[in-house]
Amino acid sequence: MKITSFLQKYALICSILFMLVSCDIEHSSNGKFDGYWKITRIDTLQTGGINDLSGELRFWSVQGKLLQLNDRQNYRQPCYLRFEKKGEQLRLYSPYADVSQGEDLPMTDAEPLRHWGINLSANNDESGSKAEESLEEKFTFESLTSSNMVLASQTLRLYFKRY
């Protein structure tokens, strides 16, 4: 009886350890940036123009190293970008368009992304040739809390509310 109880406990402990070791736990270092963000306003820095989007349903969805762009009100083709967050800096690159069920194609034209306040431009390396990930944009986090976010690029300031 004692041997059976011991073997059951041993098997349980081994099973738990096996599950913990076999699971690949993914960890995000994005902090408060992870989540579902609704764009509420886009300001043009040069002209002082303000585009109030509070009545629209334009979203940035952030998880891991992937940014998904959605418009839940006006049909727009969803887009995906890779991103790199270092301190107060955010670099968006490698845009893909979701063209059909499960098929994502690399984007070479940034025009569709302007709808979400992203104006990607060609990134050239020191030699002047286009880099492999040629479209990118850099933002600075002006504010990031658990409920609001403000990002600024060279041309725009984007305001978000966590949804």
**CA atoms of 98 and 114, how far apart (whole Å):** 16
pTM value > 0.85: no
**CA atoms of 140 and 83, how far apart (whole Å):** 13
Nearby residues of 142 by Cβ (< 8 Å), 6 or more positions away:
150, 151, 152, 157
Q: What is the pLDDT of residue 15?
A: 60
With a cut of 50, list the residues of the chain below it in pLDDT.
Answer: 125, 127-133
What is the Cα Rg of the chain in Å? 22
Q: What is the pLDDT of residue 132?
A: 43
Tell me if residue 12 falls in helix, strand or coil: helix
Q: What is the pLDDT of residue 25?
A: 54
